[in-house]
Amino acid sequence: MRIALGVEYNGAEFCGWQIQEAGVRTVQGCVEHALSIVANHPVTAICAGRTDKGVHALSQVIHINVTAERTMRSWILGTNVNMPNDIGILWAQPVDDHFHARFSALGRYYRYVILNRTVRPALLINKVAWDYRPLDIERMQAGGDYLLGTHDFTSYRAVGCQAKNPVRTIKYLTIKRQQDYVIIEICANAFLHHMVRNIAGVLIAIGCSEQSPEWAKQVLDACDRTAGGVTAPASGLYFQGVIYPEAYQFPQATLPVL
């Protein structure tokens, strides 16, 4: 049986999603350990999009192949009992063998949250980015609009990114303010390594008037990572969800109230 599951996690204490060498705490390692206990056999979890160290997820989607017969409720509750408190299974649904958490995805969307006030966060430490300079969201939106559509995003990916093709399509990119929070929401067919955090870094520089909105396009056209700004902190980044074909209707993530 193939099962799709939704996973929520606080990435602050993890070295990213992907399993690494022994002794390194990863989300995948914890998820597979808990699922294997419920299944009573080794389980491999395939995710929709790997996240980096410190990045959170509101609804990461994974799929597993299992031989054990359990109810969907048992997969959820049994796995959560064996999971650390900073990871939780939100839902579980049986899917056909053609479903693949990564390759069936039509798009992914992320949320980047910036606490924009003069005082650093205490309650939300490691859960938001922070910038003390007043950010102008209209300037940020004007810069973000240059990134809409299909482009070569070499300037917005990490130097060590291993993707063979730097071309991606951004379907929407919006910036809004909720009291002291500036929120960037972005959806694309797929993302490059550090792509969202590098976009956030450029938009923050534009928002505080260090750069003009047109700079976002200048960076894009350069096709050179060194032309861009700093990489924004991982603490503000949330993997928000995945878009799949209509045949696969999964529960949508409930956004937390900041």
What's the CA gap between 111 and 186, in Å, rounded?
A: 6
72 and 6 in contact (C-beta within 8 Å)? no
User: Domain check: are 71 and 114 in the same one?
Assistant: no
CATH number of residue 15's parent domain: 3.30.70.580
Q: Among 60, 80, 104, identify where a domain stops.
A: 104
Residue 189 lies in a domain: yes
- Residue-wise pLDDT for 153-162, tens only, equals 999 999 989 8
Residue 254 lies in a domain: no
- Chain centroid to Cα 50, Å, comes to 8
pTM of model > 0.85: yes
- Residue-wise pLDDT for 83-132, tens only, equals 999 999 999 999 999 999 999 999 999 999 999 999 999 999 999 999 99
Two tokens at 236?
A: 């503000």
- Residue-wise pLDDT for 29-72, tens only, equals 999 999 999 999 999 999 999 999 999 999 999 999 999 999 99
State the total domains in the chain: 2
Give mean pLDDT, residues 240-257.
Answer: 86
Burial of 243 by CB count in 10 Å (0-12 exposed, 13-18 middle, 19+ buried)? Answer: middle
User: Domain check: are 138 and 185 in the same one?
Assistant: yes
52 a catalytic residue: yes
DSSP percent split of the chain into helix, strand, coil, nearest 5: 25, 30, 45
User: Domain check: are 234 and 132 in the same one?
Assistant: yes
Burial of 67 by CB count in 10 Å (0-12 exposed, 13-18 middle, 19+ buried)? Answer: exposed
3-state class of 119 per DSSP? coil
User: Domain check: are 122 and 230 in the same one?
Assistant: yes
What's the CA gap between 43 and 197, in Å, rounded?
A: 31
Position 256 scores a pLDDT of: 65
CATH number of residue 206's parent domain: 3.30.70.660
User: Domain check: are 191 and 85 in the same one?
Assistant: no
Q: How far is CA 172 from CA 38, 66, 90, 150, 187, in A?
A: 39, 36, 26, 11, 5
Q: Of 4, 30, 15, which Cα lies nearest the Cα of 85?
A: 30
Beta bridge partners of 237: 112
Is 110 annotated as ligand-binding?
yes
Strand ranges (E), 116-248: 129-130, 149-152, 167-178, 181-188, 237-243
Beta bridge partners of 170: 149, 188
Residue type, 165: N
User: Domain check: are 155 and 86 in the same one?
Assistant: no
Position 229 scores a pLDDT of: 85
Q: Among 104, 136, 168, identify where a domain stops.
A: 104
